Amino acid sequence: MTSYKNQQLPLEKVFRDPVHDYIHVKHPVILDLINTKEVQRLRRVKQLGTTSFTFHGAEHSRFSHSLGVYELTRRICDFFESNFSSAKIGIGGWDDQERLVALCAALLHDVGHGPYSHTFEHIFHTDHEAITREIITSPETEVFQVLNRVEAGFPEKIAQVIAKTYPNPQVVQMISSQIDADRMDYLLRDAYFTGTEYGTFDITRILRVIRPYENGIAFQMNGMHAVEDYIVSRYQMYMQVYFHPVSRGMEVVLDHLLKRAHFLYQTDPDFFLYSAPLLVPFLRGDFTLQDYLTLDDGVLNTAFLQWLKAPDKILQDLAARFLHRRPFKSVMVEQDKDWQNLNQMAQWIEAVGYPLSYYTAINSSYDLPYDFYRPESKSHRTQIELMEPDGSLVELSQVSSLVAALAGQGQKDERFYFPKEMLTKPAQGQLFEEFYHQFQGKIHNGKIIHDKEFTHDDSTSYH
Ligand code: NI
C-alpha cells in the first residue's frame, strides 16, 4: 500500500477562488489539513481586521488567504519540477521530495492568527507566529495529528519552515521572503476584495520567471519588469490600503476598548465572567492553546455587544464607537514641530472630560517596500536576485531604477488620534479646529508622548 505521504487523491479536489480561479488539491494530507478544526477556524477570522470599516468589501477571511498561499506554492512547485528539477539540472535544482513540506507550511503559515490580531496581540501580549508553531507541534491539535501521520518529525519540519530555520532555503523563501507566495497572495486578494487596483500585478508572468538556485529563489532577468511592478504594487497597497487613517482610527478605538476591559477586570472580574467568558483567560493573563483556539471575530464582537450595557461608561462608550463605526479622527504629526500645539490639544481634550489614555493615541505605520541585503542591519532580509542567462546573479535595484528609488526608503505615517466631537465642542471647538487645520500634514515631537502619556501604538502591517 502507498504510504500516506505518497498517496494521491483518486480524484483531484478543487476549491473555486475569485483570485486564482481554481485551487487544486491532489494530496490527501492537504485535504485532511483543510478539514481540521484549527484551519476551519480561520473562516471566522477576517484577513484585514478593521480595514473593512473603510473598504466594505474587505470581508475575506484568513482561510481564503491560506488556500491562496497554498495554491501559489503548488504552482511554483509544479513549475520547478517540470523545468528545474535537481534530477535535470543538478546542484541548485528543485528536489520534489520537498513539495509536501512546502505545501503544508504554505497552508498553515497563518493558522495561529487570532481575531483583530494586531490589536489583540498589543493588549494581551500573544504572538501569532509562536502560536502557529505551537498548533503545528502540539499533540493535542488535529493539525499535528494529520502531519504526524506523514512521518515522525514531520510537524517539526513544518514549524522550522515557519521559523525560517528549515535547511532548504528554497522552501523557506517560497513562504517567506521579499517576494513570496504569502505576499503575492495577500496583495492580489486584498486588492480584489477592497476593490482597489493598486495591488494587481502580473502573477502569471512572475510564475514563469521564478526559478530555484543553490541559495534560494531568483527570477530570470527577462522578468525584471514583472518583479518591479510587484514592488510598486506593494508600495501602493501599503500607502493606500494598509495605512488608511480611518481603519487605524477604528484600530485605536478597539485597542483602547480592550485596554479598558483589561483594566476593569482587575477590580470587577464577575462582570466579565458573564459578559465575555471566553475572553476571561486573556483578561486574567493565563490562557491555554485551547482557549486561544476558541477565539474568533464573533467572540470579540459578541463581547462588545454585551459591553454596551456595561456599568462602566468608558467601556460602554468605546464599545459603541467600535460597533457603530465611529473612528477617532486624526492629524498627521511631525517630528520637532508644533509639539506645544499638540500639548494644547491634549489639554483641551482632558478639560472636556476625556481621559487621554483612552481617548487619544499616537499611531505610527511603517513599511519598507524593498531593501537589498544589509548584514549589519537589525532584521536583515534576503534581497531579490535576478539571474542573467549565463547564471550570474544581480540584485534587483542594480538594474531597476524604479526599485532603486524605493530601496531602503522606509515609508512612515504617524498620526495623533482624538475624538471627532472635539471639532464641534462649543467651548473649544473653534480653537481646536484651527489647531487641527494647522496640524494637517505635520508630525509630533517625541517629547509629547512622555509629557502626556499618550498611548504609543505602532501598526506595521496586518499580515
Ligand atoms: Ni499570510
Please report the pLDDT score of residue 413 as a whole number: 85
| Rounded Cα gap, residues 256 and 91, in angstroms | 54
Distance 66 CA to ligand 1 centre (A): 7
Sequence-ordered list of residues with C-beta below 8 angstroms from that of 307, at least 6 positions apart, any chain: 257, 261, 275, 276, 315, 316, 319
What's the grid cell of residue 412?
Answer: 512612515
| Rounded Cα gap, residues 263 and 123, in angstroms | 11
> Is residue 231 located within the same domain as residue 330?
no
Please report the pLDDT score of residue 427 as a whole number: 58
What's the grid cell of residue 217?
Answer: 529563489
Decide if 2 contacts 168 (C-beta within 8 A). Answer: no
Residue 384 in any domain: the answer is no
Distance 389 CA to ligand 1 centre (A): 33
Q: What is the dihedral of CA 255, 257, 263, 269, to 10 degrees?
A: -130
Element (H, E) at 61: none
| Residue-level pLDDT, tens digit, the chain, 463 residues | 789 999 999 999 999 999 999 999 999 999 999 999 999 999 999 999 999 999 999 999 999 999 999 999 999 999 999 999 999 999 999 999 999 999 999 999 999 999 999 999 999 999 999 999 999 999 999 999 999 999 999 999 999 999 999 999 999 999 999 999 999 999 999 999 999 988 899 999 999 999 999 999 999 999 999 999 999 999 999 989 999 999 999 999 999 999 999 999 999 999 999 999 999 999 999 999 999 999 999 999 999 999 999 999 999 999 999 999 999 999 888 755 667 778 888 888 888 889 999 999 988 888 888 887 776 766 667 899 999 999 999 999 999 999 999 888 888 888 899 999 888 765 555 666 666 665 553 433 333 333 333 444 555 455 6
Q: What is the CATH number of the domain that holds 14?
A: 1.10.3210.10
Out of 242, 273, 296, pick the residue that ends a domain: 242
Number of domains composing the chain: 2
Decide if 260 contacts 268 (C-beta within 8 A). Answer: no
Residue 89 in any domain: the answer is yes
> Is residue 288 located within the same domain as residue 263?
yes
Decide if 337 contacts 433 (C-beta within 8 A). Answer: no
Q: What is the CATH number of the domain that holds 297?
A: 1.20.1250.30
pTM, two decimals, is 0.92
Decide if 68 contacts 107 (C-beta within 8 A). Answer: no
Biggest distance spanned by C-alpha atoms of the chain: 81
Q: How far apart are the first and last CA of the chain?
A: 41
Decide if 310 contacts 261 (C-beta within 8 A). Answer: no
Distance 13 CA to ligand 1 centre (A): 23
Full residue range of the structural domain in which residue 359 is found: 249-367+411-459
What's the grid cell of residue 365?
Answer: 505605520
> Is residue 172 located within the same domain as residue 189?
yes
From 49, 36, 7, 57, select the one nearest 107 (Cα to Cα). 36
Q: Where are the beta strands (DSSP E) in 319-410?
A: 329-332, 361-367, 385-387, 393-395
Distance 376 CA to ligand 1 centre (A): 27
Distance 462 CA to ligand 1 centre (A): 9
> Is residue 213 located within the same domain as residue 286?
no
> Is residue 281 located within the same domain as residue 217?
no
Residue 378 in any domain: the answer is no
Please report the pLDDT score of residue 126 as a whole number: 94
Distance 173 CA to ligand 1 centre (A): 13
> Is residue 86 located within the same domain as residue 117?
yes
> Is residue 238 located within the same domain as residue 348?
no
Ion ligand 1 nearby residues (CB, 5 A): 110, 182
> Is residue 283 located within the same domain as residue 421?
yes
| Rounded Cα gap, residues 252 and 245, in angstroms | 10
Distance 184 CA to ligand 1 centre (A): 9
Distance 181 CA to ligand 1 centre (A): 9
Q: Which long-range CB contacts under 8 A does 7-15 form with residues at least 24 apart?
A: 15/67
Please report the pLDDT score of residue 163 as a whole number: 96
Residue 172 in any domain: the answer is yes
> Is residue 11 located within the same domain as residue 128?
yes
Q: Are strands 210-213 and 216-220 parallel, antiparallel or unpaired?
A: antiparallel
| Rounded Cα gap, residues 338 and 434, in angstroms | 13
> Is residue 153 located within the same domain as residue 295?
no
